[in-house]
Structure 1
Amino acid sequence: MTSVEITQVSTKKGWIDFGIGQPDVDLLPLAQLAKAAAHRFKLKDRNILQYGNQQGSGDFRISLASFLGEQYGETVDPDELFVTAGISQALDLICALHTRPGDTVIVEEPSYFLALRIFADYKLNIIGTPIDENGLIIDALEEKLAKYNPVFIYTIPTFHNPAGVTLPVGRRKELVRLSDKYDFLIVADEVYQMLYYASKPPLPMAYYDASNRVISLGSFSKILAPGLRLGWMHARPSLLEPFISCGYLDSGGGLNPFVSSIVSSLIKLGQQKEYLNFLKQTYRTRMTTLTQALRQHIPALQFTDPQGGYFIWSCLPEGTDTEILLAAARKHKVGFQTGIRFSSAKGLRNYLRFCFAFYGEEQLLKGVERLSRIIR
């Protein structure tokens, strides 16, 4: 063994890869978590090392509900929260309990490509439905619903990955109405809900649920640290019950009781709010730096400035194949995500996604300069 790999992604020295959709390692809150851990250990509560309550620690859910309520501007009931090991794990659990091979799920076109992989693992029939600058196109979705019978719709309603768009209130209400009419669940991936750089987005989808059909998914991966593997479902108690009582948790107990206890302390100490504000300021600056540089040096790219999240979704003229461009870009030690990865129909070949969260401003500018050698 010549090296020990610790992280999911390892970047080669000298490379700048806009395709990495992760937080900057140098920004991760080591000192804040050390302080929170010290606070928790002083309580000398060994229960945090025991098998956890299936729904998640009550202490943590109360802290989380308080934090979320402050961020959303609306009350959050701790009984409507279920602790997960992040959104990916939540999606896996939803598939395990609600689907069988061959079932249909509807996703946005484009959609988060790694969620598509989870659905493929469960051998689900994945059907794409188009979006526009305001997210899901409701009329197009209803045409799909009349033809297919999905178990659930997977949507990223706020600061979409990769498109960056946000579903307005009217469409959120229409989506919920359709879920009742056609009898399907809405699984809302809202990992970027609190990372807004201008006006606050609409409330999470769970607030529009009138008939027990919405599961909102949140995570600390983008607002604190992905290595914590800590997130939550936000839904009516009747929707959470199958997860709370499933065999997986009956055997292993609630998810992440130790980590959630430390994050509970971090919230109580006010550090989560402070760190979130720091991230929003930092990412806002990086987003502005990248959008301005792309417009100046690669005018052929067409995109709308994101109002939150991590990404810039851009397109080149029809007929362009961004996979060919990526091969050329790699010769200049620069990368990006190609549009086809986000397509359930293997389309969107002229699209590409940039992330502005992983690198500082100097590297972002250097990466654009390299990319401008092959795209003008």
Structure 2
Amino acid sequence: MAKVQVAQISVPEGWIDFGIGQPHVDILPLDQLTRAATHRLQQGDRNILQYGMQQGNGNFRGSLSQFLSTEYGAPVDPDHLFITAGISQALDQICALHTRPGDTVFVEEPSYFLALRIFADHGLKVISTPIDENGLIIEALEEKLVKHKPVFIYTIPSFHNPAGVTLSANRREKLVSLGEKHDFLIVADEVYQMLAYTSTPPLPMTYFDTSERVLSLGSFSKILAPGLRLGWMQAKPSLLEPFIVCGYLDSGGGLNPFVSSIVNSMIELGLQKDYLNFLRKTYRDRMVALNKALRQHIPVLRFTDPDGGYFIWSYLPEGTDTEALLAEAKKRQVGFQPGIKFSSAKGFCNYLRFCFAFYGEEDLMEGVERLSRIIR
């Protein structure tokens, strides 16, 4: 029987692709999830197989709120949580409920390229606004707001993808103030919030919300397993209400009630916390190894060490075409993400994004050595 592909990514044998932004299958927590599933199923509660409560199982939201309160160091109210099928689904639902084709949304420049795909699916006009080492540049955003009226701004405030930077607390406050002044929502993709290695980011964006403007999106994709398709939206109840009463959930019920019951046991048994600590150490070690290898073998490459997340955002001298460079790299069975993919304005042509989450340290160093033969 021919081998069939079951996962989204299939890496050819011998390849090292720094462009893959997900965990390797070897470190996914199969044993822990087996324990959690056994714990939940042995309780004999058939309700977990029924259509779920629209906002999400109350028991799970209670456990999740306690877990998040501990990780954030700030209280999380279960009534301020809405269970999603991950951030991609949440973004799609936000677009479905809050926008119409032709509406304007703001994104950071650069930004997560697959979010741009979702906005394109909804026919939205995307306007980019620049970031620096402290995240979104507020003065530049204010200039854009003179000419455009966005429905929302999509931001990745902590350990940005691809840039790795974190939005400062002061800028978070100013962003919320601008949202109130100009009547737009702030959609915060906070998937990397808990993957901090060398410094702690400010609290999630919802804690800065004084005017019911912020939708903070979290996910288990990066802290447990992406195949679970499970996440949450944290916001004031008035902002969650349109999602809870929408026709999609009125018909199908809450999202992923069975999976959320298993993850509930992961939290109750302390397995989620232990696994998150394991990921933090593993990714920190890989980040340090990749930083060192890049500086040693490709000194022409420039970058700032990230404090968390998945990525190193780097650049080569002006005039370098990293898309053309990628074609040469593939001949040596190594890959990366060229910077232009993250630009809605076709910029960052001399930039590269490296992910350190997928490969172990030995493969990371081998991949850098392969790249060093074409980047001089």
Query: How much does 1:254 deviate?
Result: 0.1
What fraction of aligned residue pairs are identical, expressed as a percent? 76
**3-state SS of paired residue (2:217):** strand
Partner residue, 2:95: 95
User: What CA distance in whole angstroms lies between the structure 1 residues aligned with 2:244 and 2:112?
Assistant: 27
Q: Answer yes or no: is 1:6 the counterpart of 2:6.
A: yes
User: What CA distance in whole angstroms lies between the structure 2 residues aligned with 1:348 and 1:199?
Assistant: 27
Partner residue, 1:33: 33
Q: Answer yes or no: is 1:363 the counterpart of 2:363.
A: yes
Q: What TM-score, normalized to structure 2?
A: 0.99
User: What CA distance in whole angstroms lies between the structure 1 residues aligned with 2:270 and 2:2?
Assistant: 42
One-letter amino acid of the structure 1 residue matched with residue 346 of structure 2: K
User: What CA distance in whole angstroms lies between the structure 1 residues aligned with 2:260 and 2:219?
Assistant: 12
Tell me the alpha carbon deviations over residues 172-225 of structure 1, each in whole angstroms, 9 at most, x when there is no partner.
000000000000000000000000001211000000000000000000000000
User: What CA distance in whole angstroms lies between the structure 2 residues aligned with 1:202 and 1:161?
Assistant: 17
User: What CA distance in whole angstroms lies between the structure 1 residues aligned with 2:54 and 2:77?
Assistant: 17
List aligned pairs for 1:160-171, cutoff 5 A: 160-171=160-171
Partner residue, 1:106: 106
Partner residue, 2:274: 274
One-letter amino acid of the structure 2 residue matched with residue 135 of structure 1: G
Structure 1 unaligned runs (5+)? none
User: What CA distance in whole angstroms lies between the structure 2 residues aligned with 1:38 and 1:9?
Assistant: 29
**3-state SS of paired residue (1:56):** coil
User: What CA distance in whole angstroms lies between the structure 2 residues aligned with 1:366 and 1:238?
Assistant: 51
User: What CA distance in whole angstroms lies between the structure 1 residues aligned with 2:139 and 2:157?
Assistant: 16
Query: How much does 1:352 deviate?
Result: 0.5
Q: Answer yes or no: is 1:217 the counterpart of 2:217.
A: yes
Tell me the alpha carbon deviations over residues 40-70 of structure 1, each in whole angstroms, 9 at most, x when there is no partner.
0111000000000000000100000000000
Q: Answer yes or no: is 1:294 the counterpart of 2:294.
A: yes
Partner residue, 2:43: 43
**3-state SS of paired residue (1:119):** helix
User: What CA distance in whole angstroms lies between the structure 2 residues aligned with 1:335 and 1:169?
Assistant: 35
CA RMSD between the two structures: 0.6
Q: Answer yes or no: is 1:303 the counterpart of 2:303.
A: yes
Partner residue, 1:134: 134
Tell me the alpha carbon deviations over residues 74-106 of structure 1, each in whole angstroms, 9 at most, x when there is no partner.
110000000000000000000000000000000
One-letter amino acid of the structure 2 residue matched with residue 340 of structure 1: I
User: What CA distance in whole angstroms lies between the structure 2 residues aligned with 1:73 and 1:210?
Assistant: 19
Partner residue, 1:240: 240
Partner residue, 1:375: 375
**3-state SS of paired residue (1:309):** coil
Count matched residues: 376
Query: How much does 1:2 deviate?
Result: 3.5
Q: Structure 1 stretches (4+) deviating beyond 3 angstroms? A: none
Partner residue, 1:252: 252
**3-state SS of paired residue (1:363):** helix
List aligned pairs for 1:78-89, cutoff 5 A: 78-89=78-89
Q: Answer yes or no: is 1:149 the counterpart of 2:154.
A: no
Partner residue, 1:175: 175
**3-state SS of paired residue (2:161):** coil
**3-state SS of paired residue (2:82):** strand
User: What CA distance in whole angstroms lies between the structure 1 residues aligned with 2:135 and 2:368?
Assistant: 28
Query: How much does 1:4 deviate?
Result: 1.1
User: What CA distance in whole angstroms lies between the structure 2 residues aligned with 1:47 and 1:150?
Assistant: 42
User: What CA distance in whole angstroms lies between the structure 2 residues aligned with 1:209 and 1:311?
Assistant: 28
User: What CA distance in whole angstroms lies between the structure 2 residues aligned with 1:361 and 1:3?
Assistant: 29
**3-state SS of paired residue (1:128):** strand
Partner residue, 1:283: 283
Q: What TM-score, normalized to structure 1?
A: 0.99
**3-state SS of paired residue (1:150):** coil
**3-state SS of paired residue (2:53):** coil
